[in-house]
């Protein structure tokens, strides 16, 4: 019997085990799967909390619907009737002391039409005129390996990028746009520029890809995002799942590998999947030849604060889902989701539930990370009072610190990952790196990465190369 050990029970590792288990059963193969997770529960950053009438997520709160690979999985897991969608797609930027709407006809703040550019209240008339150079300026130097910030600024100018695009895009990808590549963020933009001669024209021609679901751009489940984690775990009937135990070391042992756990148990494996953060994979392998690459991968940090109030969410000052902060000295948070408005299932009686995000890219983070949960609650309450004019005291609060655990895809990320892949194939054949440190941070990307990893394992099994 062959054995595959998957280290890391987050969404990528769990997806790998799920798809591998499915393929093994459909092909009637004699393969043993062992999933090792350091925490006492699977899901990694995906965890749903229930407190009173409120439903809160410690990590990601939704799945992007335009990534179509998740739909078949939801059907396989029998979760179709549990799916819920965001109630509205309107978002704002808090700037100059007030909320200003991000145009609906935009993708990550990038206009989908000339009309969208003309109507935005975030940009001056001069900035709008400057952005029109996208229509007539050809791309004669940029490739997908270049900075997405430099690329956008070259065709839209500084004002549109700084005031409307950067706050949105930097929030999604947790980094400075100058340090992020086109390939790691929005690779289709350069394709549109080259094909249509204009980013705006390209987006407009492909509008259905981004707005095909109307306001239903995100999905979750009635019981929260953890529903997909629980359902996949239930389907791993024959796999051994080890929870609450750290893996300490992965060593080559002839044609196999030995995984040593912190409790002293050892697992001999034909293939190993390292579905952990890159720094954990680095510690497991303890190989100097890999350290130069591993050390160049970067993580950022995030503090999430939920506040639930005994007031109706109709007291919010606008009809939308929340705001992103830009160029603001009075509000410390980077973003605020109006959770009870965006997700009706999160508040049974539509009492106000909001979520605030504080990122390590901000000037206040180093001070904030040292604060207690009670002190962070007070910071969040002050931000709510200033930005939304709400002075109520919360009846529920949850604070989660994700310190140094949020991958940041800088300008050389893809080259570093390719280098690691070559070295791993040479030094550790049949040990596979997987997860958000390398191949995408959203839930759909992690699930797709898990499915690809399972396919690689099946190819190895079929070729009898182990």
Q: If we measure between CA atoms, which residue out of 331, 329, 385 comes closest to residue 357?
A: 331
Q: Residue 77 falls within a domain, yes or no?
A: no
CATH at residue 395: 3.90.660.20
The predicted structure's pLDDT at residue 179: 83
Q: Is the same domain home to 320 and 393?
A: yes
Q: How far apart are CA 168 and CA 170, in angstroms?
A: 6
Residues 249, 261: one domain?
yes
Burial class of residue 413, CB neighbours in 10 A (0-12, 13-18, 19+): buried
The pTM (predicted TM-score) of the whole model is 0.90
Q: How many domains does the chain have?
A: 3
Residues 130 and 200 in one domain: yes
Cβ within 8 Å of residue 98, ≥6 positions away: none
Which residues have C-beta within 8 Å of that of residue 7, sequence separation ≥ 6? 13, 36, 247, 250, 259, 272, 273, 274, 275, 276, 284
Q: Evaluate if residue 171 carries a pLDDT over 80.
A: no
Which of these three, 211, 238, 267, is where a domain ends? 211
Minimal CA–CA distance to 228: which of 358, 43, 69, 432? 43
pLDDT band, residue 361 (cuts 50/70/90): confident
In a domain, 60, yes or no: no
Residues 124 and 258 in one domain: no
Residue 95 Cα to chain centre, angstroms: 25
Which tokens sit at 218?
A: 């995100």
What are the φ/ψ torsions at residue 26 (nearest 5 degrees)? -70, -25
419 & 451 share domain? yes
Residue 19 backbone dihedrals phi, psi, to 5 degrees = -70, -35
Taking each continuous run of H as one helix and of E as one strand, the counts in the chain are 19, 22
Q: Is residue 121 part of a domain?
A: yes
Location of structure tokens 């609060």: 397
Say if 272 falls within a structural domain. Answer: yes
Residues forming a β-bridge with 107: 110
pLDDT, residue 466, reads 45
pLDDT band at 183 (very low <50, low <70, confident <90, very high): confident
Indicate whether 108 and 197 sit together in one domain.
yes
**Of the listed ranges 51-60, 180-189, 356-365, 454-463, the one predicted with least confidence:** 180-189
How many residues are recorded in the chain? 466
Considering the domain architecture, whether residues 270 and 318 belong to the same structural domain is answered as no
363 vs 155, which has greater pLDDT?
A: 155
CA dihedral 199, 203, 206, 208 (to 10 degrees): 170
| Residues 252 and 308 both lie in one domain | no
Q: Are residues 339 and 427 in the same domain?
A: no
Q: Examine the domain organization and report whether 160 and 285 are in the same domain.
A: no
Task: Tell me, rounded to whole angstroms, the distance of Cα 425 from its chain centroid.
Answer: 27
Average pLDDT, the chain: 93
- Residue 334 belongs to some domain of the structure: yes
Ramachandran area for residue 224 (φ above 0: left; ψ -120 to 50: alpha; else beta): left
The domain of 143 spans 104-211
Helix H or strand E encompassing 460: helix 443-463
Residue 88 resides in a domain? no
Q: Examine the pLDDT at 124 and tell me if it is beyond 80.
A: yes
Q: Does a structural domain hold residue 68?
A: no
pLDDT tens-digit readout, 1-50: 899 999 999 999 999 999 999 999 999 999 999 999 999 999 999 999 99
Which pairing describes strands 256-261 and 266-269: parallel, antiparallel, or unpaired? antiparallel
For the cut 60, the answer to whether the pLDDT of residue 213 exceeds it is: no
CATH, residue 258: 3.50.50.60
Q: Is 316 within a domain?
A: yes
DSSP class of residue 347 equals B
Same domain as 234, residue 189: no
Supply 286's token pair.
Answer: 């303890």
Token code pair at residue 360: 């390590």
């Amino acid at each position: 019997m062959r054995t595959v050990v998957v280290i890391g029970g987050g969404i990528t590792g769990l997806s790998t085990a799920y798809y591998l288990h499915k393929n093994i059963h459909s092909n009637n193969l004699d393969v043993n799967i062992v999933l090792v997770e350091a925490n006492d529960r699977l899901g990694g950053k995906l965890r749903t909390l229930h407190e009173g009438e409120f439903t809160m997520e410690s990590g990601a709160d939704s799945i992007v619907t335009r990534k179509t690979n998740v739909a078949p999985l939801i059907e396989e897991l029998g979760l179709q009737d549990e799916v819920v969608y965001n109630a509205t797609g309107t978002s704002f930027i808090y700037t100059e002391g007030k909320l200003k709407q991000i145009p609906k006809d935009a993708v990550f703040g990038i206009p989908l039409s000339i009309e969208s550019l003309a109507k935005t209240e975030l940009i001056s008339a001069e900035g709008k005129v400057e952005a029109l150079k996208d229509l007539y300026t050809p791309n004669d130097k940029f490739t997908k390996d270049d900075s997405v910030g430099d690329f956008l600024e070259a065709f839209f100018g500084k004002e549109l990028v700084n005031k409307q695009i950067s706050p949105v895009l930097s929030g999604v990808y947790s980094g400075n746009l100058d340090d992020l590549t086109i390939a790691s963020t929005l690779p289709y933009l350069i394709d549109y520029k080259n094909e249509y001669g204009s980013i705006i024209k390209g987006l407009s021609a492909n509008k259905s890809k981004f707005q095909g679901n109307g306001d239903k751009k995100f999905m979750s489940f009635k019981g929260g995002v953890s529903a997909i984690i629980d359902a996949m775990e239930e389907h791993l009937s024959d796999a051994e799942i080890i929870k609450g135990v750290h893996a300490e070391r992965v060593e080559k042992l002839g044609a196999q590998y030995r995984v040593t756990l912190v409790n002293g148990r050892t697992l001999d494996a034909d293939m190993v999947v390292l579905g952990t953060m890159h720094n954990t994979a680095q510690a497991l392998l303890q190989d100097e030849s890999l350290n130069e690459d591993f050390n160049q991968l970067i993580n950022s940090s995030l503090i999430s604060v939920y506040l639930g109030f005994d007031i109706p969410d109709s007291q919010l000052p606008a009809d939308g889902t929340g705001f992103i902060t830009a160029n603001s000295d009075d509000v410390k948070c980077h973003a605020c989701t109006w959770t009870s408005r965006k997700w009706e299932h999160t508040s049974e009686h539509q009492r106000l539930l909001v979520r605030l995000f504080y990122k390590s890219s901000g000037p206040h983070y180093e001070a904030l990370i040292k604060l207690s949960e009670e002190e962070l609650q007070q910071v969040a309450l002050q931000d709510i009072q200033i930005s939304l004019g709400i002075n109520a005291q919360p009846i529920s609060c949850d604070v989660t610190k994700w310190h140094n655990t949020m991958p940041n895809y800088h300008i050389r990320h893809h080259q570093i990952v390719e280098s690691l892949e070559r070295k791993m194939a040479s030094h550790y054949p049949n040990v596979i790196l997987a997860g958000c440190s390398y191949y995408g941070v959203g839930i759909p990307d992690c699930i797709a990465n898990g499915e690809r990893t399972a396919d690689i394992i099946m190819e190895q099994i079929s070729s009898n190369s182990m």
